[in-house]
């Protein structure tokens, strides 16, 4: 079937993170410059570093999601389901009614962890000589979390999982748009979910890129990132099919890969530059049309230097749009960050407000790229959201009012 020329509309959003258990709570925390990063309590670790922890056990999350007691769900599935439920309710969509109306409904979930938390429990119990439940390992695969979410919501037309590290959710949004444009789906949940677990904490610690204090994206004093957990999902529909309210439209996007290093982007920002440039091209926009960028901005030496260099290459040293990193609030939520931050962009467009990287103090050496440090009222016609993953897999999304 020939693709439609219209744009996808964001008709619903759902978020759960360390700064709020729904979109409204998240937005209030952002406006209040309230970080959720603090001490690790979810599990024991020798690495005493701050994290963005939601503060609910798996049992409490299951109760919040309305799931039956006694069944095993990974933390990824639980967080994703809660965000999806909110997004659907926000869009005013009842799955059963939509199916009766002949609508094709799908879900595309981005995650890098999958059911790792349950796998860790299995092997810990086995090592301790305790009863280890084999069914915990059945949830290990990333796709298992998507299947759990889809089954509970009653989505049967299409489900798939994308795992491209920290660009996972952004790539899920891109695929969702293509499915709509080619009329393979009429309604699609897109985003991502990732929890905190020992595997990621130990892995990032081995790379030497965890900050022992609150992260400082794009600051000369930055020493690393803070890990976080959460989920963010959007409901996308074809613009011509929506009569209800919309937050914004998805105008363009692109994925690129500079193939520079397993865990780093190139110093000249080649991958980020290509992703941003091609996203603009797809949107039919010029660099000067972008009013704000939600930067990937992790707080590591490599990412922030590479991303800022790409800003200069694309926009010019003195024409970089206003930008900020919201990871100072949530921490780096890995495969979920593209979904959470896309939802933040939708809220910023709707409310005409730029959320700052409030703890910035010193400009990076050699790069005059300074993020917004104060909450600012602004007319945001076109907004860009960047999500950059390991292996050089980088993605940029462009949303318009």
- Measured between alpha carbons, how far is 114 from 168 in angstroms, rounded to an integer? 12
pTM listed for this prediction:
0.96
pLDDT greater at residue 30 or residue 125: 30
Look at residue 393 and tell me whether its pLDDT is greater than 80.
Answer: yes
Q: Which two tokens stand for residue 212?
A: 């022992």
pLDDT band at 186 (very low <50, low <70, confident <90, very high): very high
Kindly tell me the burial class for residue 174, based on how many C-beta atoms sit within 10 Å of its own C-beta (0-12, 13-18, 19 or more): buried
Share of the chain above pLDDT 70, in %: 98
Look at residue 1 and tell me whether its pLDDT is greater than 60.
Answer: no
Question: Which pLDDT score, from 0 to 100, does residue 125 have?
Answer: 75
* DSSP-based three-state secondary structure for 223: coil
Look at residue 343 and tell me whether its pLDDT is greater than 80.
Answer: yes
Question: Which domains, ranges and CATH numbers included, belong to the chain?
Answer: 8-241 (3.40.47.10), 252-400 (3.40.47.10)
pLDDT band at 255 (very low <50, low <70, confident <90, very high): very high
Q: Which two tokens stand for residue 94?
A: 């009842």
Question: Which pLDDT score, from 0 to 100, does residue 69 have?
Answer: 84
Mean pLDDT, range 95-122, rounded to an integer: 94
Look at residue 251 and tell me whether its pLDDT is greater than 80.
Answer: yes
Mean pLDDT, range 299-327, rounded to an integer: 95
Look at residue 350 and tell me whether its pLDDT is greater than 60.
Answer: yes
Question: Which pLDDT score, from 0 to 100, does residue 3 have?
Answer: 67
pLDDT band at 119 (very low <50, low <70, confident <90, very high): confident
pLDDT band at 354 (very low <50, low <70, confident <90, very high): very high
Q: Which two tokens stand for residue 401?
A: 């009012």
Question: Which pLDDT score, from 0 to 100, does residue 130 have?
Answer: 80
pLDDT band at 2 (very low <50, low <70, confident <90, very high): low
- Measured between alpha carbons, how far is 322 from 352 in angstroms, rounded to an integer? 13
Share of the chain above pLDDT 90, in %: 83
Range with the lowest mean pLDDT among 112-116, 225-229, 331-335?
A: 112-116
Look at residue 5 and tell me whether its pLDDT is greater than 70.
Answer: no
Question: Which pLDDT score, from 0 to 100, does residue 196 have?
Answer: 97
**Per-residue pLDDT tens digits for 256-282:** 988 887 777 888 899 999 999 999 999
Say if CB 187 and CB 44 are below 8 A apart. no
Question: Which pLDDT score, from 0 to 100, does residue 99 have?
Answer: 97
* DSSP-based three-state secondary structure for 395: strand
**Per-residue pLDDT tens digits for 217-250:** 999 999 999 999 999 999 999 999 886 789 999 9
The b-or-e profile of 242-278 (16+ CB within 10 A means b, else e) is beeebbbbbbbbbbbbbebeebbbbeebbbbbbbbbb
Question: Residue 154's CB: how many other CB atoms inside 10 A?
Answer: 12
**If you average pLDDT over every residue of the chain, what do you get?**
94
**Per-residue pLDDT tens digits for 17-46:** 999 999 999 999 999 999 999 999 999 899
Kindly tell me the burial class for residue 377, based on how many C-beta atoms sit within 10 Å of its own C-beta (0-12, 13-18, 19 or more): exposed
**Per-residue pLDDT tens digits for 40-80:** 999 989 998 999 999 999 999 999 999 988 888 999 999 99
Question: Which pLDDT score, from 0 to 100, does residue 123 have?
Answer: 80
**Per-residue pLDDT tens digits for 228-237:** 999 999 999 9
Question: Which pLDDT score, from 0 to 100, does residue 88 have?
Answer: 98
pLDDT greater at residue 360 or residue 123: 360
Look at residue 133 and tell me whether its pLDDT is greater than 90.
Answer: no
């Amino acid at each position: 079937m020939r693709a439609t020329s219209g744009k996808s509309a964001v008709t619903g959003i759902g978020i759960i993170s360390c700064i709020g258990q729904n979109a409204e709570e998240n937005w209030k925390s952002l406006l209040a410059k309230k970080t959720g990063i603090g001490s690790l309590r979810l599990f024991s670790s020798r690495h005493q570093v701050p994290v963005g922890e939601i503060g609910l056990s798996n049992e409490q999350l299951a109760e919040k999601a309305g799931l039956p007691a006694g069944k095993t769900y990974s933390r990824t599935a639980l967080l994703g389901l809660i965000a999806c439920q909110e997004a659907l309710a926000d869009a005013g969509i009842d799955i059963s009614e939509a199916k009766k109306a002949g609508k094709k409904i799908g879900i595309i979930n981005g995650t890098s962890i999958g059911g790792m938390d349950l796998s860790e429990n299995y092997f810990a119990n086995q090592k301790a000589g305790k009863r280890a439940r084999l069914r915990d390992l059945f949830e290990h695969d990333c796709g298992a979390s998507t299947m759990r979410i889809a089954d509970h919501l009653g989505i049967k037309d299409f489900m798939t999982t994308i795992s491209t590290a920290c660009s996972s959710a952004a790539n899920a949004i891109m695929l969702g748009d293509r499915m709509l444009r080619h009329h393979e789906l009429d309604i699609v949940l897109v985003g991502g979910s990732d929890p905190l677990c020992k595997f990621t904490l130990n892995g990032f610690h081995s790379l030497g890129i965890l900050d022992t204090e609150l992260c400082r994206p794009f600051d000369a004093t930055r020493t690393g990132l803070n890990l976080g957990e959460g989920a963010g999902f959007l409901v996308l529909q074809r613009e011509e099919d929506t009569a209800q309210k919309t937050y914004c439209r998805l105008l363009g996007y692109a994925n690129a890969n500079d193939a520079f290093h397993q865990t780093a982007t190139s110093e000249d920002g080649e991958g980020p530059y290509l992703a941003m440039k091609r996203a603009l091209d797809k949107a039919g926009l010029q660099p000067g049309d972008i009013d704000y960028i939600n930067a990937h901005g992790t707080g590591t030496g490599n990412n922030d230097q590479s991303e800022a260099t790409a800003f200069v290459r694309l926009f010019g040293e003195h024409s970089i749009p206003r930008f900020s990193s919201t990871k100072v609030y949530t921490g780096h939520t890995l495969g979920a960050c593209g979904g959470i931050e896309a939802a933040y962009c939708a809220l910023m467009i709707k409310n005409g407000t730029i959320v700052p990287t409030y703890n910035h103090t010193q400009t990076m050496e050699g790069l005059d790229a300074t993020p917004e440090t104060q909450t600012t009222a602004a007319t945001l016609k076109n907004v860009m959201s960047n999500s950059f993953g390991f292996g050089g897999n980088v993605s940029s999304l462009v949303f318009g009012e």
